[in-house]
Homo-oligomer: A and B are copies of this chain.
Amino acid sequence: MADVAHAAGVSHQTVSRVLNAPQTVSPDTRQRVLRAVADLGYRRNSVARALASGHTRLIGVVVDELAFHGPGSTVVAVAEAARQAGYAISLDPQVTMSTDTVSAALDRLLSRAVDAVIVVSAHGWADIDAAAAHLDVPVVSIDGALGGATASVGVDQRAGAGLATRHLVELGHRRIAHVAGPADWPQAAERRAAVAQTIAEHGLTPGPVLEGDWSARSGHVAMRRLLQRHRDVTAVVVANDQMAVGAYRALTELGRRAPDDISVVGFDDIPEAAYLSPPLTTIRQDFSALGREAVRLVLSALAGEPCPSRLIPPKLVVRASTARPRGGQSATR
């Protein structure tokens, strides 16, 4: 910067002004400085800026399961939105999510002096809240259950699972099973609760619930068990699309077919969902919107404005894995 100042025949403060508040510098001088900047290929050093100004324009992102489609899309959207606002992302992906690992991550991020933190994880919010409670930077959680001390953005899981279940009920299914996610994941619990509630609301008896771990493998195991033990089930809500892939496999192995023998609804709408056989009816979550919204909240918080938690509504995408039960009748009047 000193070089630029020298080349332009001004002081370094003037250069700083040109870069930060151009209108306070006369057009003439401004041009000279800008030329010098261009000529010397000068690029201002954010480290020094951060030290002097007290903020890094860096958002720390703690994320779980980054290799999956949902979190990956969300992180891309976060980065993109942040970039547009002049912020960069410091990523701290976790392989295991626990109070310890999260607080270690927050610690690393804070020592990097991030201006805010976004936590992308569906894996429980109690820990995050606890770890984030007395931080002096804004923390926004994505996909964590709402509530607690930190602001958060999420997809309305109950609405989604309700949508899925109602779709099946309206097709005429009366015995609906659920392949749930791990019980200790709030999202899994909410989906599960909403499935049960919707079934109850329609006066049906609760169907069997099996628990998976979000993986195709676990979906396969759960569905095999389901098909073998609960022959009266005509439809199943699977808590995510990966498990639905495993469920499909189980169907094939046992000689059953969707939707003829059993209807299947997934959750997420991964890009492959439309190309499975049969194309999977599922609940679409807008992962990108989640990321953008989180950044919006962060910027609000940084600006001292209130930043209320928000729920984004999911959408039912009907494809070919659901149909009326064989010999059943539609409940739709």
Query: Which of A's residues lie within 8 Å of B, judged by CB?
Result: 43-48, 50-51, 56, 58, 61, 66-69, 71-73, 75-76, 79-80, 83, 88-93, 95, 107-108, 110-113, 215-217, 219-220, 242, 245-246, 248-249, 252, 271-272, 274-277, 279
Contacts and interface: CB of A to CB of B under 8 A. Distances in A.
Contact of A48 (B46, B51, B217): B51
Given A242-B271, A275-B249, A89 B91 contact: yes
A90 B93 contact: no
A93 B75 contact: yes
Nearest to A271: B216
A278 B76 CA distance: 33
A272 B216 contact: yes
Contacts of A215: 271
Contacts of A271: 215-216, 242
A280 to B, nearest CB: 11
Nearest to A79: B93
A112 B92 contact: no
A46 B217 contact: no
B91 A75 contact: yes
A72 B45 CA distance: 29
